[in-house]
Amino acid sequence: MADLALVFHWRPADMDPMSVADLMEWRERARERHERQE
């Protein structure tokens, strides 16, 4: 969840209703975006 907060500026409350599968999918997107920015 820290990855999502860092990349997308989401608060924990924004992610709380998401399923684990959704969080995993968004985490991968965050990883890809972060790697493109470096």
On the question of pLDDT at 23 being above 90, the answer is yes
| pLDDT at residue 37, rounded to an integer | 86
Which residues fall within 8 angstroms of residue 2, CB to CB, at 6 or more apart?
A: none
Domain boundaries, the chain: 1-36
Q: What is the DSSP letter of 18?
A: S
Q: Structure pTM?
A: 0.82
Report the percent of the chain where pLDDT is more than 90. 92
Integer Cα distance of 25 and 29 in angstroms: 7
Cα separation of 28 and 7, whole Å? Answer: 11
**Which stretches within the chain are classed as H helix?**
2-8, 12-15, 20-37
Place of tokens 């968004």: 26
